[in-house]
Structure 1
């Protein structure tokens, strides 16, 4: 049936044309924007995911800027520490030259002073955007990533340890220890072999060997000193004469710092070496009536053995603990008579740093006759040997907390080569400073390497995220182009169909003619 009021064909043709136009508009939108999902109404779930990922990409790009800034800052500090190492090496050459007596130590000192000023200038200028990583002790945090989880988003950082290459002595801590004692950090062994924190220094250590009983002619007395075997066959029955003969043999060995004396049959062997001990062993005698025995060692009148012993070095030794944890600000003070020397531990430092720092504090002071060395035992523990060649002074260790850390190049300002003693001290000091500078450069180099690797990872992550977002929302341009042409043809056909459908009622007029 035909109707002039309702044209069903035209309605169908119009709906078809409208759908085609709608699809054509969507396809044209994909082509113009390059996206198949341009807004939330296109596909809300996929759009939400893509926007979250886009926000992460924006964050990653900001992180790359942070990493680039951090990389530059660390690079400046690393370059400075390497330069400081080179300058310290030059100073070492000057110090080595000063060991000779026939050189102009005044001119050498002037050269050292100029190099020290250059080191200070280098450390002071080693900043990037106002941040200097070779001054101070606080760590620097560099933003490195955003970690997304079910509980939210958290920022992660790369922690870069500052490397204090200043010459600051630091500030002593004044807070008393809590929960621990000084003996937990370090001990001194007194003449009786007990662990103490105070004692009295001596000009030298000795051993008494008492010759007694009835000595018969032909009795043989023997002993070893530092591996040198001595033997004496008695030609007299007088103990003092026998002791005198052994004294002559010992002195004839010419061992540096080792001398022997005799007092009424008591043979006293003395050791004045600052850092070398003397071993006496295999003390023996033949003859039933004669006796020879060690009766005193290092002031101990009840020695553990009557046939052997070690005459300790002149220097008093502080044995530092390998188990007690150090905290930033722990202050170690060593007193020698009326003089006090201190070192304040920095963050993450070890007993090695304390031992070397205290040695530097002592060796760069203007106290005459006092010298120190840091040594490591076979078991890995560190000790500080302090030699006071004047002897008889009080010697002790104190530990407090709450101080400001000592700089890594502490002692450089007071490096002196004006005498044989000071030149020798300076050599030990410069070795410690070079070691500190090398450690600083190595630490900064490791941090820079990590930052660069993280920066490369961020770049790859951004590329992967961008690719993932594209696969979710980007339009397939080849497909869109083909669809556009098909829809344009469909649009033309739908338009013609609508035109034909609209002309159909015209045929009804023919019935009324």
Structure 2
């Protein structure tokens, strides 16, 4: 039935055109934003997951910065320790030279003095961001340093921050509060280092920490004079070798921490990339697919407009029936 009151064909064409325009708006929004899920209305579940993971990724970015700061502190302390090892090794060589007959021990002591000054300078300057792991003035000694290492989310949604603990007390070279806590300032029993100890303690230390009376070293500073005996030089040499061994152990431990920090930093950066990629799979638009769909919808829109025009013109044909 043909009616001038109701144009069913036009209404059907209009409804089809509206659907095409709606799909076109969605596709154009995806093309312009690059997202398939841009807000909660698009897909509540995916949007919620993506929002949470983006927030966690931002937290991980901060963790990466904190690891970088911690790595710098470790690097500075590690560099200082390595330099101290080289200097103590040189001191050990000078003491070996002092065992030679008729050598001028006073001149050798001048070199020892400068080497010890170098050790003090190394310890005092190995500071980063206000922290020095080689030189301690704290009452009670150095404690444990913490480096932020991770941001964790458990299966029940609870979050926590993980840290790497560094025992700074094991790396202190000079302690001005208590000389005994410093690797270079503490008393070392040279007699105990003999293959067959006599039982009579004979303490030496390398650097005078200028500690308080209560915390000062009680032994003899490693230094040479014209009256220094061969036995004393031998005792100093044993102590210097023991100090070198202690420094090597401390550097090994700090080197392990340095390696762990570097590995954790690489892991966090890789994890951030993986999370970003995972979120992209959930919410990013496939631009190849969307561009193809947009082209098809544009064609459909043109056909819909043409169909609506034909449907609207059909009512005009009725007028021909009333013409004379």
TM over 0.5: yes
**Aligned match of 2:290 in 457, 480, 494?**
480
The structure with the greater share of residues assigned to strand is 1
Moved more, 470-479 or 99-108: 99-108
**Aligned match of 1:427 in 232, 237, 250?**
237
Higher relative contact order (CA 8 A, sep 6+): 2
Q: Deviations over 1:305-332 (max 9, x none)?
A: xxxxxxxxxxxxxxxxxxxxxxxxxxxx
Distance in 2 separating the partners of 1:72 and 1:413: 36
2:134 touches 2:174 (CA, 8 Å); kept in 1?
no
**Aligned match of 1:140 in 142, 145, 154?**
145
Task: Specify every segment of 5 or more residues in structure 2 that has no aligned partner in the other structure, as ranges.
Answer: 137-141, 203-211
**Paired residue for 2:41?**
41
**Paired residue for 1:271?**
none
CA distance 1:457–1:411, shift in 2 (3 Å): farther
Q: Aligned-pair distance for 1:19? A: 0.8
Q: Aligned-pair distance for 1:438? A: 1.0
| SS class of match (1:141) | strand
Q: TM-score, normalised by structure 2?
A: 0.84
**Aligned match of 2:192 in 373, 383, 392?**
373
Which structure has the greater CA radius of gyration? 1
CA distance 1:114–1:104, shift in 2 (3 Å): same
Distance in 2 separating the partners of 1:448 and 1:436: 18
Q: Aligned-pair distance for 1:21? A: 0.7
Distance in 1 separating the partners of 2:249 and 2:71: 19
1:46 touches 1:473 (CA, 8 Å); kept in 2?
yes
1:53 touches 1:465 (CA, 8 Å); kept in 2?
yes
1:63 touches 1:144 (CA, 8 Å); kept in 2?
yes
**Paired residue for 1:385?**
199
Q: Aligned-pair distance for 1:102? A: 1.4
2:172 touches 2:181 (CA, 8 Å); kept in 1?
no
CA distance 1:65–1:412, shift in 2 (3 Å): farther
**Paired residue for 2:83?**
83
Distance in 1 separating the partners of 2:276 and 2:49: 12
| SS class of match (2:174) | coil
Count of residue correspondences: 302
Task: Specify every segment of 5 or more residues in structure 1 that has no aligned partner in the other structure, as ranges.
Answer: 172-342, 347-352, 364-371, 378-382, 389-402
Taking the TM superposition and a 5 Å limit, the aligned residue runs for 1:162-173 are: 162=168, 163-168=170-175, 170-171=177-178
Distance in 1 separating the partners of 2:252 and 2:264: 19
Taking the TM superposition and a 5 Å limit, the aligned residue runs for 1:233-312 are: none
Q: Aligned-pair distance for 1:358? A: 4.9
1:92 touches 1:430 (CA, 8 Å); kept in 2?
yes
**Structure 1: which 4+ aligned runs deviate by more than 4 Å?**
343-346, 374-377, 410-413
CA distance 1:31–1:153, shift in 2 (3 Å): same
Q: Aligned-pair distance for 1:416? A: 2.1
Moved more, 4-13 or 71-80: 4-13
1:80 touches 1:122 (CA, 8 Å); kept in 2?
yes
**Aligned match of 1:159 in 154, 165, 171?**
165
2:46 touches 2:283 (CA, 8 Å); kept in 1?
yes
2:134 touches 2:172 (CA, 8 Å); kept in 1?
yes
**Paired residue for 1:453?**
263
Taking the TM superposition and a 5 Å limit, the aligned residue runs for 1:177-196 are: none
1:375 touches 1:385 (CA, 8 Å); kept in 2?
no
Q: Aligned-pair distance for 1:414? A: 1.8
Taking the TM superposition and a 5 Å limit, the aligned residue runs for 1:299-378 are: 344=180, 358-360=187-189, 372-374=191-193
Q: Deviations over 1:360-387 (max 9, x none)?
A: 4xx6xxxxxxxx425799xxxxx99335
| SS class of match (1:386) | coil
CA distance 1:110–1:50, shift in 2 (3 Å): same
1:170 touches 1:344 (CA, 8 Å); kept in 2?
no
Distance in 2 separating the partners of 1:84 and 1:103: 26
2:133 touches 2:172 (CA, 8 Å); kept in 1?
no
Distance in 2 separating the partners of 1:413 and 1:445: 32
**Paired residue for 1:128?**
128
Q: Deviations over 1:321-347 (max 9, x none)?
A: xxxxxxxxxxxxxxxxxxxxxx7569x
Distance in 2 separating the partners of 1:89 and 1:412: 21
Matched, 1:54 2:54: yes
Q: RMSD across aligned C-alpha pairs, in angstroms?
A: 2.9
Distance in 2 separating the partners of 1:37 and 1:43: 6
2:193 touches 2:238 (CA, 8 Å); kept in 1?
no
The structure with the greater share of residues assigned to helix is 2
CA distance 1:118–1:387, shift in 2 (3 Å): closer
Q: Deviations over 1:123-160 (max 9, x none)?
A: 11112222222233222111111110115100001112
**Paired residue for 1:299?**
none
Q: TM-score, normalised by structure 1?
A: 0.54
**Paired residue for 1:416?**
223
